[in-house]
Amino acid sequence: MDSKALQSKQGDELHVVMFPWLAFGHMIPYLELAKLIAQSGHRVSFVSTPRNIDRLPKLPQNLASFITFVKLPLPHVSNLPENAEATTDLPYNKVQYLKLAHDLLQEPMALFLEAAAPDWVLHDFTAHWLGLIATKLGISCAFFSIFIASAVSVLNSGYQLDYRSEPEHFTVVPKWVPFHSNVAFCYFEIKKIFDCVNGDASGVSDRYRFTESIKGCDLVAVRSCFELEPEWLRLLEQLHRKPVIPVGQLATNLHDCGDDDKDERWQQMKEWLDKQASGSVVYVAFGSEAKPNQTELTESALGLEQSQLPFFWVLKMRRGPTDTEVIRLPDGFEERTKGRGIVCTSWAPQLKILSHPSIGGFLSHSGWTSVVEALHLERPLILLTFLADQGLNARFLQEKRMGYLIPRNEQDGWFTREAVAQSLRLVVVEEGGKIYRDKAKEMRGVFGDRDRQNHYVDTLVSCLKEHRRTNNEGRAPREANEIDAVVGARG
């Protein structure tokens, strides 16, 4: 532990509770922020469900005593399959029942907070009810957005009147954005998520969750930085009239990825990558959530084949054991591309693959964690969106020349294999795509500079110290065994 951490530990130590949404695209950046807060000598309680906590990456040994995993059993609700505790365990149309179960965590979460008496609780957009609980208990509360400031600003109007009631309204930049931008959804993107925006089986729309989460907090923390989107961070603060604190990009440290070098599967992958020319391979992965439909899968596969580029494709074939929508690669695809490409339908260490010198481009869904991993390793992005905030991220990246969007029909999302092949070749090998390759190298300092990242977290910690509620002072937290008795098993 460094001297800064020791000083904090012996002096003005914080206890911070973190409560992310039950999706790994949310839990992982929450965990990265938890590790950085703990690195400064502060205590963190990371709250999730048992199965999710058991699937998180292992903590570095030097931080294990600073981070406690708190397991809250997920209440049972109808239509939610057994053992489904994260969005990746479910077909897309079943996620609404996970939100319903998540909302039933209000009481156990309140009991845990009362027992633990932390200084702060940092929560996600889904826990719209947590701000009120924290206020009643005299605990400071922050909404920590894993969405970047541009996405939050477009999605939520703050104190502005939100006039949008139809999908078409979300395909243009909202009126409250005072500067020129193209950050908006395509029609096919917003149509796919519109039921969640306006309401679902939980009875609470995502729009309401966002609004109430921000309204009920003391400050807003955002996975972003001033070097990337200063105008959007200023707008977010103006819209919501609350302090907005960027926490940096939260890139995972390659050294924290475990000892995969001893893993036989990684060794086989590495052996294949070692045989490829430097900067020649397209890495393809659409994240833990996005599963292409059959048409999207077919055109993507045939586009990869047509590009003639070597590729390593991590392909999600199912969303959980209850997913009955079967998708298949085109007949003969794997035989025709044998030796030139690999399709992996199981585990793959994305960060290690991206760090390999043979990787020349990343065909991605625009999920922000994947964007961060690519750009902090100087890998240019080719973008194909599927759901959630990905469309907004893609427009933002396109606007900044940080990624190239595969052309597609804006109404129904249709794209061709030719468009895939041409886009891949443009960004990876052709002279016309040099702007994207150069931009990826330029952005490494923004996405991968550890000193800059630590500075953002130091600023956040200073704000947490300065703005914690005074009526929480003097409240002694209970002993660990008392907390266990209230909330049940701890990790």
User: What is the rounded CA–CA span in Å between residue 484 and residue 182?
Assistant: 49
381-383 sheet: strands from edge to edge: 341-344, 311-314, 281-285, 359-364, 381-383, 404-405
- Closest Cα partner for 307 from 393, 424, 202? 424
Q: Tokens for 118, please give them.
A: 């932390």
pLDDT at residue number 480: 41
Q: 294-319, pLDDT tens digit by residue?
A: 999 999 999 999 999 999 999 888 78
Q: Tokens for 350, please give them.
A: 């994305």
Positive or negative CA dihedral for 187, 193, 197, 200? positive
Q: Tokens for 319, please give them.
A: 């969303």
Domains located in the chain, CATH noted: 3-250+449-485 (3.40.50.2000), 259-445 (3.40.50.2000)
- Closest Cα partner for 366 from 343, 398, 336? 398
Helix runs in 308-433, H state only: 333-336, 350-355, 368-375, 390-399, 417-428
pLDDT at residue number 8: 46
Give the DSSP letter string of 80-101.
PPTT--SGGGS-GGGHHHHHHH
User: What is the rounded CA–CA span in Å between residue 179 and residue 318?
Assistant: 41
Task: Give the residue ranges of the chain where pLDDT is below 50.
Answer: 1, 3-10, 471-491
Q: Work out the angle at residue 247's Cα, subtended by the Cα atoms of residues 242 and 249, and round it to the nearest 5 degrees.
A: 135
In a 13 Å sphere around the CA of 423, the CA atoms on its Cβ side amount to 24
User: What is the rounded CA–CA span in Å between residue 321 and residue 148?
Assistant: 31
- Closest Cα partner for 111 from 60, 73, 143, 82? 73
User: What is the rounded CA–CA span in Å between residue 85 and residue 57?
Assistant: 16
Chain centre to alpha carbon of residue 302: 29
pLDDT at residue number 371: 95
DSSP annotation of 223: S
**Whole-prediction pTM:** 0.89
pLDDT at residue number 346: 85
Give the DSSP letter string of 177-217.
--S-------HHHHHHHHHHHH--TTS--HHHHHHHHHHT-
Q: In angstroms, how far apart are the furthest CA atoms of the chain?
A: 69
DSSP annotation of 406: P
> First-to-last CA distance in the chain?
23
User: What is the rounded CA–CA span in Å between residue 34 and residue 30?
Assistant: 6
Number of Cβ atoms within 10 Å of the Cβ of 325: 12
- Quick one: residue 413, left, alpha or beta (phi over 0 = left, psi -120 to 50 = alpha)? left
